[in-house]
A and B are shown apart, each in its own frame.
Chain A
Amino acid sequence: MNDQTLFSIFFSALVVNNFTLALFLGLCPFMGVSARVETALRMGFANIFVLVLTSLAAWFLNTYILETAPYLRIISFIIVIASLVQIVETAIKKLSPALFRQLGIFLPLITTNCAILGLAIFQTNRGYGFLQGLTFAIGAGLGLTLALVLMASIRESVEFSDVPGIAKGTGLVLIIAGTLSMAFMGFAGLL
């Protein structure tokens, strides 16, 4: 069991060790999707949902099944994640076709989102218990959403600026990300 308090886990995942800006997880949606705030918010919340489910599944697997075969961890995690995303996608499709259309291509993307598998691995390595894992997932998800929304709103403003041709696209996004990451470093002393 890890000695960290729930508050420090939550706060750390949210800003101090922000999943995207400090741990480099969840970069695929960050680069590609983050051009509009609304889209970013939806992507973020979809991720939070999957992250929480993954945390539960990982805790369950770790506690009951993987004790005897720790080397099967990576395979079982990725299979569970892929299945979870598939189930979530099918469920949303049936329950709310409107939401499904809005989320569109984002859902399958979540499977290859490093943040999901990353959460499962970090949770295992740090030995988080049930509640700790959940807090971690919520904090990480909110942190991811925060980074996505910040990037989206900055890009919305940048669209009206005069950016040199060569910088348009990913180069600019990365430099903005670097600046955001530096800004977030300011949170480091808080805990």
Chain B
Amino acid sequence: MSQDNNSNGNRIDVDIQVENSDTAAAQDAPAPEEVSTFRLVATLAVAGVLAGLLIVLVNLHTKPIIDKYKAEQLQLAVYEVLPGVERYDTYYLVNDTLSLALPAGAKESEFKRVYVGRNSEGQATGVAISRGESGFQDVIMVIFGYDPIGGTLSGMKILDSKETPGLGDKIFKDMNFVDQFFKGPETPLLGVKTGAGKGQPNEIDMITGATISSKAVIGIINHALEEWKPILDKGIPEAPAVAESAEVAQ
């Protein structure tokens, strides 16, 4: 294949056109014998099976590592936004009520969920909720801690963000911004420009130069609460018997 400086498109085009038409004579391959369709299919099938086997093997090895890491990250995040809880239980939204268990045969990923933090007596002291919405660049994933009785926030953590480096990424790098969510602001939150606030308990100072990203984070929390407050106000189920409960603080 000539290594000329054309756009690579021409190169690949020649490859595939040669494959499609039968002018194999130009290649320096062995004399073109009739290759049976069976051999063609068999080769690909064998290759496919071998490939599948290799992937399954490596997957068996890596899946536990990956799952463990994901679970750890989630745990860390929940404990960060629910300071002071001993452990937490995962409740799924099944038929508009909170339920520890999923309906038989259901896929876990289809159900919205919240993480109810409990203290040493098993009382629910906070709920961690995660939600994602568009920010300035792309979707921002936020998890925050909410006290259903007082209606205040206990903390916030950005789980995933692709905001502009140096500007939008201040939503997790600027501790002055992040700390505000840990001081128990009332909900619904109100974003204000720094210095223009009236001192209301639900005000959050937005980041100068990253107003859209800040607004997005505030919006995510407010929208999530609009969705979950009616359900949480119905009451959080009592702690299950110790044998049933899920995560334990380590």
A residues engaging B (CB < 8 A)?
A: 1-4, 8, 12, 17, 28-29, 31-33, 67, 71-72, 75, 105, 108-109, 111-112, 126-127, 188-189, 191
- Quote the shortest CB–CB distance from A157 to chain B (angstroms): 20
Q: A4 touching B133 by the CB < 8 A rule? A: yes
Q: Which of B12-20, B117-125, B229-237 is found at the contact surface with chain A?
A: B12-20
- Quote the shortest CB–CB distance from A118 to chain B (angstroms): 14
3 cross-chain pairs, A with B, having the tightest CB-CB distances, nearest first: A32-B7, A108-B16, A32-B9
Q: B131 touching A3 by the CB < 8 A rule? A: yes
Closest to B19 in A: A108
Interface size class of B (residues with CB under 8 A): 20 to 34
For B133, list chain A residues within 8 Å (CB).
3-4
Task: Show 28 residue pairs from A and B whose CB-CB distance is below 8 angstroms, ordered by the A residue.
Answer: A1-B110, A2-B132, A3-B131, A3-B132, A4-B133, A8-B134, A12-B134, A17-B138, A28-B7, A29-B9, A31-B7, A32-B7, A33-B7, A33-B9, A67-B107, A71-B59, A72-B52, A72-B55, A75-B51, A108-B20, A109-B13, A111-B16, A112-B12, A126-B139, A188-B136, A188-B137, A189-B136, A191-B134
Q: A105 touching B7 by the CB < 8 A rule? A: no
Q: In the complex, A32 Cα to B8 Cα: how many Å?
A: 8
For A112, list chain B residues within 8 Å (CB).
12
| B10: contacting residue among A1, A17, A32, A71, CB under 8 A | A32
Judged by a CB distance under 8 angstroms, whether B212 is at the interface is: yes
Q: In the complex, A112 Cα to B12 Cα: how many Å?
A: 9
The B interface is mostly helix, strand or loop, or mixed, namely helix
Q: In the complex, A71 Cα to B60 Cα: how many Å?
A: 10
For B6, list chain A residues within 8 Å (CB).
32
Closest to B16 in A: A108
For B20, list chain A residues within 8 Å (CB).
108
Provide the B40-59 mask, 1 if CB < 8 A to any CB of A, else 0: 00000000000110011001
Closest to B20 in A: A108
Q: A189 touching B107 by the CB < 8 A rule? A: no
Q: In the complex, A160 Cα to B112 Cα: how many Å?
A: 58
Q: Which of A1, A75, A108, A112 has the most chain B CB atoms inside 10 A of its CB?
A: A108
Q: B17 touching A108 by the CB < 8 A rule? A: yes
- Quote the shortest CB–CB distance from B65 to chain A (angstroms): 14
Q: B8 touching A28 by the CB < 8 A rule? A: yes
Q: In the complex, A124 Cα to B6 Cα: how many Å?
A: 34
Q: Which of A31, A32, A189 has the most chain B CB atoms inside 10 A of its CB?
A: A32
Q: B139 touching A105 by the CB < 8 A rule? A: no
Q: B9 touching A105 by the CB < 8 A rule? A: yes
Q: A108 touching B13 by the CB < 8 A rule? A: yes
Q: In the complex, A4 Cα to B137 Cα: how many Å?
A: 14
For B52, list chain A residues within 8 Å (CB).
72
Provide the B1-36 mask, 1 if CB < 8 A to any CB of A, else 0: 000001111101100110010000000000000000
Question: Known contacts being A32-B10, A105-B17, is A4 close to B59, with CB within 8 Å?
Answer: no
Q: In the complex, A112 Cα to B133 Cα: how many Å?
A: 31
Q: B110 touching A105 by the CB < 8 A rule? A: no
Q: Which of A3, A17, A109, A188 has the most chain B CB atoms inside 10 A of its CB?
A: A3
Q: Which of B10, B110, B138 has the most chain A CB atoms inside 10 A of its CB?
A: B138
- Quote the shortest CB–CB distance from A156 to chain B (angstroms): 17
Q: In the complex, A4 Cα to B138 Cα: how many Å?
A: 11
Q: In the complex, A185 Cα to B54 Cα: how many Å?
A: 43
For A3, list chain B residues within 8 Å (CB).
131-133
For A71, list chain B residues within 8 Å (CB).
55-56, 59
Q: Which of B7, B55, B56, B132 has the most chain A CB atoms inside 10 A of its CB?
A: B7
- Quote the shortest CB–CB distance from A155 to chain B (angstroms): 13
